[in-house]
Structures are given as C-alpha cells and as structure tokens.
Structure 1
C-alpha cells in the first residue's frame, strides 16, 4: 500500500528535472513554457535553391534541332547524340478518326495506288518536309508539319514540360528565305522560345570533325551539295540534282522491269511517265537503303601483299579458272519479296544488277562530259570542279579534309568510288581549268607552248667578302662582337603568343577523307561551349518585324557583336544588340 501511495503522489506532483523530456534539448528552460516554432535564421535563403529541378534545367538547357528534308533530330546541348529522330511520313498528315492502320488494305500496303495523283513527284511528296521550289509550296503546311513533329519529339523522346526553352536550329545554308520564315513563325508563335539561334549545316559538320576547314560532300535527298569551308566560313557552293530521290526512282525502275506482268510487255511500249509507279515508295526506299551498292573504282589499289614472300601458286588450267570465276559470278543472285504490287511476288535478281541504280544516279559513265548541264554533273566531276574553283591555299586545306555526309553516304562503296575517281581526275588533268584538244596539244608540243628564256639580272653578282674582311668587321670600337654565339633576348609577349598557337604541321596538299560525328553533334558542341552564333533572333523582334527586321551582314558591326565564351554567351550573342541578321540565309 505504501508503494502505491508513493507512486500516486509522484504522479500528481511535478516530475523530476532529470526525467523531463523537455529539458533534454534546453536544460535551462522551465517545463511550463509552451512549445513554439523555432525562429528562422536572419540570413535570407535563395528561393530557387528549393525550387523544382525542372525549372532550373529549363533555364540552363538548350534544345538542338536539326531540320532536314525528311527528318527532324532533337536533343539537349552538350549531348553526344540526339535523343530522338522523327521522320516525315504520310501518317503525320492523318486526322483524328483515321483508322486506315487497322484496315485490311494497309496490311497489304496497296492503298497508295488509290491515292489521287496531283502534280509531279506525288509518289514521294508526302515523305518530305519541303521543296526548294517555293513557287507552289504551301508554307502554312510546312509550319504545321514542323510543329507536329516537334511536339511529337518533345512528348516521346524528351520527356519535358511545355516551358519555353531556347533553341538552336541547324539548317542547310541553301534553304530559301520563305522556308526559313515559315519555320521560325511556327517556332515563335506556337512553341514560344525566348531566342532561336541559327547554325549552318556545313559549319556544324566541320566542327563535328574537329577541323577548321573542310570540303563537305552532302549526298542529300533532293540534291548533292558540295560546300567549301575555310576557317568556319563558307567559301564556295556547287550543286547537282543527283541525290537520294533519284536513287529511289532508279531502284523502282529496276524492280518494276523484273516484275512478271511488266516482262510480258514490250520494251517499246513501256512508258517512263513519272505517274506510272508499280511499287510503293516505302518498299523501294527500304530496298535502296539496305541492298543497293556501288561498284569500286577500276584503278583502285589492290589489297596489300604480305612481306613474307609470294603466295603459293597451284598449277591448274587457266581456262578452268576463268570458267569457274564466271560461273561463280553468275550464281550470285538475290531474292527480293515484293508486297506492295497488285499481285505480291518474289523476284530473283543477279547481284550485279543492284549496282545499276547507284551507277545511273551518281555517275552515268556511258555519257560524255559535254552532254551534262551544270546542274546535273556527275559527282566526281562536281567535286573536282569545286576544288578547281578555290584559291590555292584554300584548296590545299580542303582537299585534305573531305567529309562525306547525307543519307546516300551509307551506300556501300559509294564514297570510295567518288574518292578514287576524283584522285584520277587530278592525276590526269592537274589543276588546269582549260581542257580540250588545243590545250592538250599545247601541253605536249614545246614549240606551241613557247620557251621561257632566263632573263639576266641588270646588275652582276655582288662580290663575296673575304674571311679577313669579315673578321675585321666584327670588331667595332675595340670590342669583339661574336654574332654566331650571341644569345637573343627573350621577349615575354612573344612567348605568351606562342603558347596559344598550334605548332604541329598542317596536313594539306594531298587527297584525304575524314569522318565527322554529324551536324547535330557539332551544333551541340558549339552550344555547350557557349559560342555566340552570328544569327540569334529574339522572339519579340521576330513577332514584331519578321524577316524584314533583319539587317544585312555588312551592316552589322562585328566588333561590337563579339562576346566572350563565358556563361550566357549564347544568349548575349547578336541578340544583345539592336542589329541582328539572318546570316547566310539573309543573302539569298
């Protein structure tokens, strides 16, 4: 009982100080004080430190867009490769409620035949973003395609919110100004980025290769463009209509010629009309991408022989070897299933026949050089003339830094064939632009060429001083001057200037091909290094003035537009000043 009584008294009385929980943190505070919120620190904390990580990333990250004729690539600045690629296909032109993907006709891929034919190039028109002929182009449709592809890329690959972000667009330098205006109107009015910077495709490819000068051979879809870049500036540009679209059409001709229903027709009755297509574009494009190859150059160097000695040769009849080789080549065939034609079938073609589309598209060796116009030159001749039109010092740099890019660059053996034929043209013709019978006769006949006599100097050679006179000249004012062993004073300014210079010898004057990581990766590197491009456009300026508000490149003071490579250099580019230009796009 006494124990229970003492416990009750202890429960009703004040707890002991060493058993109080409130005194653990503040022993000097009495237990009857009510608990309150701890006082905040007097030092203000930045509100952005506790914000959402997405808001911080939106202020720092820059979206890199590369717009081509058939695809769009997107990613963040500083990444090695794009996050995603969106191809322009007819499925993007469908509206809500279009269920053709679930119909029986779409599975057999014959619905393209029932499409209404309107104008030329209808076969591949829905697979392209734009055409360089702006006379009949629908600029509003181009803007809608860009917006839909960009929204699809942001939703599917980027996984970011709709917060406005700065953008860098990589575009071909030959893009017409109406096309550029349609793209910028779509970006500024619908996605609302604060600034859009423009980068040229050849310059981005040059940066991606790690060089300052190069010769870009862009084997694109619409055409082949050869651009000479010297010190990150475009010097010369030449074009040819030979590109990927022509390659796909030549592949269609090859496949349609071997169809059973077309083999029954006579060759004279076969029409080459652009509207007469027997296969779908998707199937011909897939075969051209995966199976078409290019024959090697005839004078290409053979494989290097082993240094240990000649290989062992077994005795056998040469006629048997030739017969065995021909039979082996004849047995090399390939079976191609075709499902887009009216009656699906499988054709069998010799392996050499698959080299005809690339031969007819890029070379046309059966025709003479005089039979081509300036806009349809074969690619080896186009590369040679592009180098021939360059100055001597620029040519020496560009010919040692040839970069092949574009969709057709992946055709097996095409780059080696072009490189070999260009080297052969240089060996045969040299760097003389005058060609013909008269020029050949002048080079071969020394009488027609004329003898260049050596002109004697008006004054005779100066006399050489004797060693005794040289020794006497060294001693001046009674002091001996040893010029051979005199050490020069070190200039600190020259030493600092030499530290930033590359003293390695430059490769120039010989044919060499190099690789590039691509235009998108080069633009990502430029934006990551905060380099200020020449063409940076603000949203308010574009919505107010449009393309008419841009100044000419010659009207902008380049000294005031120079910025450091510090943080925010991409923002404070030419947009920081009132004068802004469209770069190379504002001159065409």
Structure 2
C-alpha cells in the first residue's frame, strides 16, 4: 500500500510539471528591465548573455598608427605604428592619403587586416566574433574610409557591430570638461573642433594642411643639406621625436643658433652645424604666415585657425572656450609647441594699448579683442581613447544597474533619434554618437551602408 501511494504522488507531480512550465513561460520577470535595456544599447546591444556582459573593443585608427584596447581600461593595451614589417604584409608608413582618389582601397583593406590581426590575436587575445567595436573618428574622416574600416571588421573579423564616436568629444571627456576647443594636430590635417556642453559644433570645424606630413617634409629637406645620404622616413620621424623643440620667442642669440650638435638616428650619426634646425621647421610649418600675408584657406597657421574658429562662434560660446583649449595629436607632444601656439593666440586677441587696436591676422579679417592674457589657457587631456573608455564603461554600468527609468528600448530609440547621446543621464546637455552599424544590414543593404556613416542623416537609419 505504501508503494502504491508513493507512485500516485510521483505521477501527480509529473503531471504538474508541464503546467508549471507554461506558468513560468507566460509570467513576466520579477527583476527590473536592466538586461533588456542593456541589450538595446546603441553601444553594447548583444545577442547572447556572454556578448552583452563583455565590454566592446575600442579602436583609434589614425593615418600613422592604431591604438586598441578594451573599454573600461585607463590606457589602450597596444599602440601600433604603421610601417613596413619583415613579413612584407605592410609596405607603407601611411594608411591612407589625404586625396582618396590616389588611394587604392584594396591596399587599405590589406593593411588594416594585417595590423588588426596582431591587435586581436597578439595583444588583446580575443576572437573578433565575440566583441562589438567602437571606432574613434575625426570630423574630417571620409565616408569612403569609414566604409573600408567597417568592411574589414565585418568580413575578416566577423565583428558583431561597429559604432563610431567623435574623437574630439572623447578627448574633451578625458580632460574632465564639458566645453572645450580641441586642436588635433594629426598627420594629414590639423583640425580645430569647438564643443559646447558636450555638443560638437560641426558647422564651425576648421582644418588646415599644416600638420605632421608638412613638418616631415620640411625636416627631411633640412637634414638633406647636412648629409650626402638621403635620410629615411624613420630617421626623420626619430629626429622630430627626439631632437626638435619650439621656442617661445622669435629671436635667438647668435651663440645659441650656431651651436652644432650630433645625433644618432637609426644607427646613422648626423652632424648638424646649427641648432636652428631643431626649431626653425616647427615655426615655419605651424606658426609662420605666408610671405604676402595671405594664406590659402586650407593652409592657415594654427594660431590663425584657432582665432578664426572662435570668431565664428557666439560671444557666450567662445568666452567659455578660451580657458579650455585642448591639444591632441602626435605633433602636439613636441616640447614647447603648445606654449608657443598659445602665445601667438594671445598676441592676436589681446588688446594693444600702445597702438589702440588688436593685431590683424589676415587681410579683411579682424578678430575681437580681450583685455586679459591670462584668460587664454590650455588643459591637459588623457586622449580620445581614454575618454571613450570612460564614457562606455559609465554607460555600461548605468544600463546594467537598471537605468533609464524602465523605458528600455523606447529610451534607446529616443537617444538614437536625438542629435546627442549623453554622459550625464540627468540632463539634456548630451553629446551624440553615431548609430550602431550591424553586420548583416551592412553586408546586405547597400543603401544602409552608404547612409549610416553620414552625420547629416541621424534618424532615418538609426
């Protein structure tokens, strides 16, 4: 009798299991919608549990090198320069040219594939299929180059998605500011981007061709005068990094300018008869105006470019940027260059009591004047990569903690439709990120691929 009663209880429990399963599947979850909101994030929306719990990979791709790492870290894991390697995979020092008509996209694909393979499998030790990717872009980056980067990530590394963020905004975040004027001295161009309350004023962005490539050509020509052997690309870059500095005054005593020095570059020793070679190319490249005081619109000196950018802004906007000028880019690390540029900007803007007017920069261009030189200051930034890592880690923690008021996908759609996406979730003063580019849509829909990278169409394809 005992065994028959036990069998009866067991059979009743087995009959109740399908009922319990239906109840569990139809009932709503008791936990907040944090995971659902996080899965819909424009930065970190995953398809599996492992994918949305892992932070994305951040890539800062420049013309001369790539910085890579995982979001949440203070610094990138690796910084790889672009240059010829012993295995012959890369045969150039520059990823792309300024004139994309002279650039073969197949070569760009091959270089990106070779260097990103080292990034993923040698330094990050990750499979490209398991992580999303965030790309830091310059405001002047072409749509053709954006598509090339996405093509390589989707086809060769099978990345889940790609999201683009403006590098000047990330550089400002890494400096702990809400408003700043970011001066990026890159390889092909120097870009001045005003950012007000986390919002980049893209219509006021200025650029000039006075950048690293022009400095490289000037230094190469100067070194060529002191040696019979043409200096190599690496020797010129090493000379710029180790020997060059910028003076804060235009006049140098004759005893100082005639001091000779010797320097060893890549195993070769160069004897330079005058130390003027160490600073003259910098002044000529970044500071000095053209002989007739008229520069081409693409070749303004950097101080004039900064003043021109500020002059096109409103009074209240530019007033808050004068004390928050941020210099980033490889050439900005040359000793004395930042201080010299700031001195030149002060000379252009500060009211001259002796003459009764400010310094005139170019013909038909007279800027406003200020009375206090100390108002013009610069602040230090940890760089665009660190700023992006800070933002993504904070956004990730916010969504995992159930942020967004339980709105879930509705809040994400609102963020995508607006012109900004926020570092401060309690205010509307927020900067925007470009919508997430999904792999399947990019490979199958050509119209989607052509428009998703364009900042002028934020809502149709977001």
Report the secondary structure of 1:417's partner residue.
Answer: helix
- Which residue in 2 is equivalent to 1:334? 261
2:349–2:359 CA contact under 8 A, matched in 1: no
2:366 and 2:217 map into 1 onto residues whose CA distance is 39
1:257 correspondence with 2:225: yes
1:251 and 1:438 map into 2 onto residues whose CA distance is 31
The Cα shift of 1:400 comes to 1.7
1:402 correspondence with 2:325: yes
1:292 correspondence with 2:244: yes
Report the secondary structure of 1:160's partner residue.
Answer: coil
2:366 and 2:124 map into 1 onto residues whose CA distance is 60
1:391 correspondence with 2:314: yes
Report the secondary structure of 1:127's partner residue.
Answer: coil
- Which residue in 2 is equivalent to 1:151? 117
Structure 1, residues 10-45: CA drift from partner, whole Å, max 9, x if none?
xxxxxxxxxxxxxxxxxxxxxxxxxxxxxxxx9x9x
The Cα shift of 1:398 comes to 1.5
**Structure 1 pair 523–355 and aligned structure 2 pair: CA distance change class (3 A):** same
Report the secondary structure of 1:90's partner residue.
Answer: coil
**Quick one: which of 349, 354, 363 aligns to 2:273?**
349
1:294–1:411 CA contact under 8 A, matched in 2: yes
CA-based RMSD: 3.5
**Quick one: which of 190, 195, 199 aligns to 2:156?**
190
- Which residue in 1 is equivalent to 2:188? 222
**Structure 1 pair 436–193 and aligned structure 2 pair: CA distance change class (3 A):** closer
- Which residue in 1 is equivalent to 2:304? 381
The Cα shift of 1:193 comes to 1.6
2:70 and 2:269 map into 1 onto residues whose CA distance is 45
1:224–1:243 CA contact under 8 A, matched in 2: yes
The Cα shift of 1:178 comes to 0.9
- Which residue in 2 is equivalent to 1:99? none
The Cα shift of 1:234 comes to 2.0
**Quick one: which of 536, 545, 553 aligns to 2:436?**
536
Report the secondary structure of 2:247's partner residue.
Answer: coil
Gaps of 5+ in 1: 1-41, 45-54, 97-124, 262-276, 300-324, 444-508, 558-578, 582-588
The Cα shift of 1:542 comes to 1.0
Aligned residue runs from structure 1 range 59-98, under 5 A: 59-91=53-85, 94=88
Report the secondary structure of 1:369's partner residue.
Answer: coil
Gaps of 5+ in 2: 1-16, 22-48, 397-420, 422-432
1:511 correspondence with 2:376: yes
1:548 correspondence with 2:413: no
The Cα shift of 1:249 comes to 1.4
2:262–2:269 CA contact under 8 A, matched in 1: no
The Cα shift of 1:198 comes to 0.7
- Calculate the TM-score normalised by the size of structure 1: 0.57
1:580 correspondence with 2:445: no
Structure 1, residues 390-432: CA drift from partner, whole Å, max 9, x if none?
1111111221210011111111111000001101110148789
**Quick one: which of 293, 296, 310 aligns to 1:369?**
293
**Structure 1 pair 409–556 and aligned structure 2 pair: CA distance change class (3 A):** closer
**Structure 1 pair 426–162 and aligned structure 2 pair: CA distance change class (3 A):** closer
2:361 and 2:281 map into 1 onto residues whose CA distance is 32
The Cα shift of 1:548 comes to 3.2
1:437 and 1:72 map into 2 onto residues whose CA distance is 41
1:201–1:519 CA contact under 8 A, matched in 2: yes
2:69–2:124 CA contact under 8 A, matched in 1: yes
**Structure 1 pair 360–549 and aligned structure 2 pair: CA distance change class (3 A):** closer
**Structure 1 pair 160–356 and aligned structure 2 pair: CA distance change class (3 A):** same
- Which residue in 1 is equivalent to 2:342? 419
Aligned residue runs from structure 1 range 114-153, under 5 A: 126-153=92-119
The Cα shift of 1:551 comes to 8.9
**Structure 1 pair 428–126 and aligned structure 2 pair: CA distance change class (3 A):** farther
2:99 and 2:304 map into 1 onto residues whose CA distance is 25
Report the secondary structure of 1:75's partner residue.
Answer: strand
- Calculate the TM-score normalised by the size of structure 2: 0.72
The Cα shift of 1:163 comes to 3.9
- Which residue in 2 is equivalent to 1:176? 142
The Cα shift of 1:520 comes to 0.2
- Which residue in 2 is equivalent to 1:234? 200
The Cα shift of 1:240 comes to 1.0
1:74–1:82 CA contact under 8 A, matched in 2: yes
